[in-house]
Amino acid sequence: METELVLNVSASVVLDAAGNGSVVLGPGSAWERWRVERVSINVSVGSPVPVYYTLRGYSTDLRNVIDGTYSASLNTSTVAFDVAAGEKVTGLFQNGAPGATASVSFAGKLLMRGNIGYR
């Protein structure tokens, strides 16, 4: 049995001296998986606006790209993807304004296995 809940998670990073930063997000237990349906990104400083990528795993290797944008300022993507229990996804910001705060939010479905009333 699987219970469907609302997924709404986010993370932020302060971009380093080169304007780069990353965050890692993923299910918090072996009992859950995510169906991400929307990725929203924002940056606190407008110039230069960083490039943003969502990547599989802890990697910053662009061969693992799920989706990305050339403008990480108030941008939203609706490319849907699943994140299994134990997997992680990296949000990578590149070439933004040093010291800017960059954030990413995932929205969709959190799918819990088993009876969630006993957790």
Q: Could you tell me if residue 83 is inside a domain?
A: yes
Give Cα separations from 44 to 58, 65, 112, 113 (angstroms): 24, 24, 34, 37
* pLDDT value of position 115: 64
Domain count, the chain: 1
What is residue 100's predicted lDDT score, i.e. its pLDDT?
94
Global confidence as pTM: 0.89
Say if 101 falls within a structural domain.
yes
The domain that holds 43 is classified in CATH as 2.60.120.230
- Residue 19 is assigned to a structural domain of this protein: yes
Asked if residue 56 belongs to a domain, the reply is yes
Residues (pLDDT < 50) of the chain are 119
Integer CA distances (angstroms), 48 to 15, 24, 52, 107, in order: 12, 23, 13, 26
Q: Which domain holds residue 43?
A: 2-106
Segment 87-116, tens digit of pLDDT:
999 999 999 999 999 999 999 999 998 765
**Residue 1 confidence (pLDDT):** 78
